[in-house]
Structure 1
């Protein structure tokens, strides 16, 4: 049986809070890859072979799968590990976004600042994923100490 936490486990006081927060964020991001794919298509590095849309859809699907794994206690540890790897794997898209926004006369100053600020944001995402991994039990809910 899959154990699902109560909404109060989203709080920072819960040992599973990091997993739940990442699950929510990844689920939202995954959905956005399908709702607004053009934004994501534009940040696929052009050096990659194949269609940008294929990468956008694959990335969105991966985000949704990882979100589901983080939400279900039996797969939480593996999901957290994959989340950390995923946050590292998308760095080339973050670089491409910065290149696009800095190379465009249409980009506002705020967009250019956001393009730079996003890089350090990957660090807390990775550390939160590693925290979720550490807090996840090898056998499911609750984390064994």
Structure 2
């Protein structure tokens, strides 16, 4: 990976970086929002939320700098795959809340949003991989 050519800075890569900045900042400022979606088998939820927030900010910065874009692309893809279980956990928890109150349109809408979000993670991984400068 060292010495890999830098991919051009596209709008999609900038968009992913901005998404990481927003999410990473929220992880650090309001970690309690993310703690419930850390898979239950993992210890130290608050610490994991902080670590993932910092990782998102580091990836964002790396994506924007030509000399680190390739490595940041690989790191961003790994991060997105690594946090996918938390997205699944969010959907499972939303489904449980909705089943307790199936007539609540807000809970139904939130559940629908979490379900719709799951397949959207993969296009984000593709954008991250596009930053590597390699055909992947």
Q: Which TM-score tier does this pair reach, normalised by the shorter chain?
A: 0.7 to 0.9
2:23 to 9, 26, 29: 29
Residue 19 (str. 1) matches residue 18 (str. 2): no
Aligned partners of 1:56, 1:130: CA distance in 2, in Å?
Answer: 23
> 2:120 aligns to what SS in structure 1?
helix
Aligned partners of 2:65, 2:112: CA distance in 1, in Å?
Answer: 36
Aligned partners of 2:85, 2:42: CA distance in 1, in Å?
Answer: 10
TM-score, length of structure 1 as denominator length: 0.78
**Shift of the alpha carbon at 1:134?**
2.3
- In the alignment, structure 1 segments of 5+ residues that lack a partner are 1-14, 136-145
The superposition leaves residues 34-72 of structure 1 with CA deviations (integer Å, 9 ceiling, x where unpaired) of 1221110110011112x2101100000110111111111
TM-score, length of structure 2 as denominator length: 0.82
Residue 100 (str. 1) matches residue 99 (str. 2): no
1:52 to 39, 45, 49: 45
Between Structure 1 and Structure 2, how many residues are aligned? 121
Residue 41 (str. 1) matches residue 35 (str. 2): yes
